[in-house]
Amino acid sequence: MIMGLILLDFWPITTIVSKKPAFGTQPYFGLISTVIVLSVAGVVWETGVNLSGMDTVDYLVRIPVSFVFGTFILLTLFQTAPFQKLAQPAKGCALIFGSALLALLTYELYRFASINAFAHIQAGPPAYDLDLWIATAMLSITFPLIVAYAEGFAFWPLKNDDRH
């Protein structure tokens, strides 16, 4: 939920601050942010785990962990393109949707790879082997690929300048 707030450039808090500038100072800004994050996270958790009956570990890997990686891909690799020119909150909503789509694709890619590379790997309790493999693979493979692309290719062809 924190990443969602970042994608929204802290909208609607910035709207509140524009009307009441005192709320832009600490501790008010932090408290408002915390209340919003905890409220939205509570609704998403309640929906994902309690109402739909998803397993807790499965939920954590599929939703928050995958969303963080979808966000990193959209923010770092794509530099928020093609949503850069949109105003908030439309830009943030488009980024959230794009991050969710990338999260789904990334999760399914790693799930496919793990099942094909390690046919014996099992999802769910008691060991959560597949779930843990996907979460750690996202960390150990995606981050280095992002760094290699950003530093080694200077975001080419998404960003083409003559620096490298």
Residue extents of the structural domains in the chain: 1-53, 55-164
pLDDT at 74 over 90: no
Torsion of CA 14, 17, 23, 24, to 10 degrees: 60
pLDDT at 163 over 60: no
CA angle 75, 77, 83 (to 5 degrees): 50
Residue corresponding to tokens 């790693």: 110
Residues sharing a CB contact under 8 Å with residue 107, sequence separation 6 or more, in sequence order:
61, 62, 66, 134
Residues 117-151 have pLDDT tens digits of 888 888 889 999 999 999 999 888 888 888 888 88
Over range 79-106, report the average pLDDT.
92
Structure confidence at residue 131 (pLDDT): 93
Whole-structure pTM value = 0.83
Tell me: pLDDT of 164 over 80. no
pLDDT of residue 152: 86
- Of 12, 4, 7, 46, which Cα lies nearest the Cα of 32? 12
Average pLDDT, the chain: 89
The pLDDT assigned to 28 comes to 92
The two three-digit tokens of residue 47, written as one number: 């929906």
Across 72-96, average pLDDT:
88
Above pLDDT 70, what percent of the chain? 96
